Structure formats: structure tokens, C-alpha cells
Structure 1
């Protein structure tokens, strides 16, 4: 697990995992039945020149684990795309994407007039992302705020400085993040989200219900080695309370389903390996803040 002193760019540590997510989204986009299409995903991978091969198009001999990853991330991305559509449809026009990585939703989703999207992540990751957008001449479909901050430290101050308004209902996204955080930072994250959320705010969260089971699976370990890093060194194995339990205790109305259940709803058939590795252990959650702020 990265220490609080660690920083990374897009081709190292957690940044490299974000690049792999982009590659998997690019693979998904070439399917006729794609659950999500991201026109920037392949651009990110090409521009980064990753130290390990990252396929962005279907090809002969593509390792099975890339197909597994693409299926999983397609379901996850579609789930949270729909979450944002529901949140903005309910009138929310302030969005915060925590650990935004190479998430391109500010550019690829249809946002309502006046919507502001705050993307929080490491400075080097956000700089790289902006370079690719600038090279493509890409214009976001909202007012996009880039917030350079480390989520293990004081990210709230940077968010406020970027223009975040805690009096406005917010749609938060916590996707592909929690396994990399120490338990203490994880706990603080939800405390701050709750404190900064006006009534009617929403939150979308992805979390792994059984980290040890995933890390112990030999297929996961083999894929990790092929990827060029030991993901077990990046993921936190510290015990923590289930996210749904914590949010309910804070007064949020929560709904959750596994990736496998979401895949079934979308008609995406998961083979045995991705179902065991990602489908059943990974939970996709949405919540709405009902009570008034303290």
C-alpha cells in the first residue's frame, strides 16, 4: 500500500492502475453491445506510453484477464453513469469525483445547464489528463474544476478553494478508490462527505466486500504479475466497517447491489472467473442524504 508520503504519475503506482482502467474501457468501446463508450480512453493509453503492454482494441491472443477486467469495468462504469443521470435528473448540479484518475465523464456525459464537476486527484495525474484533453481539443459538457489534492491528506481545503459550495446538494463519486486508502483515511473520507453534504445530496460508492478473497485468488495474482506490479502492495488490508453500514449510521438512505447483479440487469454475461474475482465481491452502492446537516 502506498504510504502517505508517496506521490505518483500516470505510469507509476496507483496511476498505472488508472491507465489500465482506461485501456479496459477502450476495449469495451469496440464491442457492438458496449455498455459504455469512452472516446478518450485509447488516447490516454497512447499518450502515456505505459511500461507494460496495454491493449486498447480486440486482438488475437488477448489475455483472458483483460477481457475479465473490461467486463467488470463496463458494468461499473455504466452503473455510475446511470447514477449521475438520476442525480442530475433530480436537480443536482454540483458533482465531486474523488480520485478522478482518467475518468472522462465531464466530457462524455450529458450534463444539465449550470452543472459543475470537481475532479480531485494527484497533481501529476490531472496534468497528464489535461494535456490529452488539450491535444484533442476537447471541451467539457459542464463547468469542470480540477482539484489537485491527496485524498489521504487535506483534500477538503483544496475543494473549497476550487469553488465547492457545501450549501448546494452534491453528487459524490467514490469509484476505484477505497482499496488504496488506509482505514483511517477511508473513515475520514466518509465523515467529510457527510459533513459537506446538504440534504438531498447523493453518493455513489464502489467497494470490495472481501479484499482478502480477491487478493488470495491465484488468477488475480497471475494477472497482477503480468500487469507489472504486485497489486497486493497497493491495496490496504486493514479491517474496516462496511460502507453501507457507516452511511446508514450517518443518516443516508442506501441501496446496494453486487457487480454480478448489475451485470445480470444489463444483460452482460460474466464468465466464472470475472464473477468470482469482481462480480460477487465488489459492491456498487448509491445513497441519498435525508436528514439536515449538523
Structure 2
């Protein structure tokens, strides 16, 4: 690993997401192309291909990662806010691969070693961002990140878009509520937040191959995430994974999958 500090177990899950994005980018009919994903995986010394065929849970998570990437790509560009905050940005390369409107500023928040590793790989590739990027080392469980974000140039008076991709499931309900409360304090009316609808962890299939990752899940706000947002100054709209699969021409083999995504507007 080419970082001065090792990545934490939660941070290493970003490499799994990068592997999924690298796989999708090689398909003849990709829903998106991430030209940097494979470089992150390779730089970490990991194989691009999994060691064997994916399990049922593995297939679900792969479909989830692919569809949510395309959905969030589409929504971030459609919203049009010139302030975008990527919470726990991980190895998200959207600042470098999406066609952002002129003047867009992207704030990437994550732990220092993650941002350092990401910057080193992108710099090595000569990658040029398509937006103004501010990388801000931050522990999102520490409330001090909000003050540092404003100091870095974020303007809480103007509308903004926030993305919490694959984040809340790793937080307890208390920490997830605290994080979204902090976001609300900085989100001007009309701002939006994109995130996953929480899941009932008791229904997660057992999978030894993915045990290291699923053992880190804390559930966040669970299936009541949308309701919590509605009760705390947001108007939430839920889009199911099944609907996205149909919309993007990737119908899911199991239509009972209950995962969903939320786009909430600050009222």
C-alpha cells in the first residue's frame, strides 16, 4: 500500500467499490466509465478480478454498487448545485470523470490516509480534475469537521448537494443521526442530500467471503432513514434498486431485493 499510514478496515472497503467500478468500466455496455478505478486497486496491490464466482450476497452488492454509481452520477449533475460535498469520499473519482458545470466546487472529506493514497494515484496518472477540488482530512464522527469545511471555503448560505455514498451503514444510529444533523446545519434551503435507505442487518445473508466487510456494518438509521429525514427538515424521495435496474436496463435476478436510495431536499 503506497500510503504513509495504513488504511482502516472501513476505508479499505473503498477498494472493493473501486474493483466493482473497474469491472463495470470494462463491459461493452457500461452504465458508467471510471478510468481510475483499476489504478486504485492495482496500486493497493490487489487483484482486479475476484478469486472465484460471486456469492448471492456478492452479486447483490455488485449490482448495488453499479446501479448506485450511475444513479448518483446522474443526480449530482442534474441538481446543478455549484457546491458538492462528498462525505467519506473514499476512492470516488467523480471530480475527475464527470462533466461538471463551470464553477463547480467539490469538497472531498475522508480520513487523511485515504485522501493521501487517492491523490498519489491520481497524480501518478496525471489526472486532471474537471471541477475545483478541495480535499479535507476529517473524521466525520468528530463534529469539528463542519467548522473546517466552512473554513475551507464552503458557503452555508448557498444551496449545496451532499453525497453520503455507502457511509451510513458503517455508523451507529446515534452517529448517523449526528452526522445528518450536522449536514442540516450547513444545508441552505433547497440543498439536497443523496444516500442509501438503511437496511435491516438481521436479514443480511451470511457470507464468509464478505464477513470482514459485513462485520463492520452498524446499520445507521436502518429502514427508517427516509422517515427520519422527513421529520428533521427534509423531504425525502425513495428510489428502489429494483426500479433503477429496470430504468438502466439491468433488471435484477431477485426482484425481492429491498435496497433503495434517497434524495432529500432541505425545506
Which stretch shifts more, 143-152 or 28-37? 28-37
Counterpart for residue 55 of structure 1:
49
Inter-partner Cα distance in structure 2 for 1:163 and 1:207: 30
Structural mapping, 1:145-224, within 5 Å: 145-154=134-143, 155-214=145-204, 217-218=205-206, 221-224=207-210
Task: Report if aligned partners of 1:260, 1:270 keep a CA contact under 8 Å in 2.
Answer: yes
Would you say 1:83 and 2:75 are equivalent positions? yes
Task: Report if aligned partners of 1:253, 1:289 keep a CA contact under 8 Å in 2.
Answer: yes
The one-character-per-residue Cα deviations of 1:182-220 (angstroms, maximum 9, x if unpaired) are 222101111111111111111111133322211xx13xx
Task: Report if aligned partners of 1:24, 1:69 keep a CA contact under 8 Å in 2.
Answer: no
Structure 2: gaps (5+ residues)? none
Would you say 1:234 and 2:216 are equivalent positions? yes
Structure 1: gaps (5+ residues)? 1-7
Provide closer, same or farther for how the CA distance between residues 34 and 67 of structure 1 changes in structure 2, counting only shifts above 3 A.
farther
Would you say 1:244 and 2:226 are equivalent positions? yes
The Cα of 1:264 is off from its aligned counterpart by 1.4
The Cα of 1:150 is off from its aligned counterpart by 0.6
Residue 197 of structure 2: SS of its match in structure 1? strand
Inter-partner Cα distance in structure 2 for 1:111 and 1:87: 11
Inter-partner Cα distance in structure 1 for 2:85 and 2:66: 21
Counterpart for residue 45 of structure 1:
41
Inter-partner Cα distance in structure 1 for 2:222 and 2:195: 15
Task: Report if aligned partners of 1:202, 1:287 keep a CA contact under 8 Å in 2.
Answer: yes
Task: Count residues in correspondence.
Answer: 260
Inter-partner Cα distance in structure 1 for 2:236 and 2:221: 21
1:23 to 19, 24, 44: 19
Higher relative contact order (CA 8 A, sep 6+): 1
1:104 to 70, 85, 93: 93
TM-score of the aligned structures, taking structure 1 as reference length: 0.82
Task: Report if aligned partners of 2:171, 2:217 keep a CA contact under 8 Å in 1.
Answer: yes
Inter-partner Cα distance in structure 2 for 1:82 and 1:255: 15
The Cα of 1:37 is off from its aligned counterpart by 1.0
2:32 to 21, 29, 36: 36
Task: Report if aligned partners of 2:198, 2:220 keep a CA contact under 8 Å in 1.
Answer: no
TM-score of the aligned structures, taking structure 2 as reference length: 0.90
Task: Report if aligned partners of 1:152, 1:185 keep a CA contact under 8 Å in 2.
Answer: yes
Inter-partner Cα distance in structure 2 for 1:222 and 1:269: 26
**Moved >6 Å (runs of 4+):** none
* Aligned CA-pair RMSD: 2.0
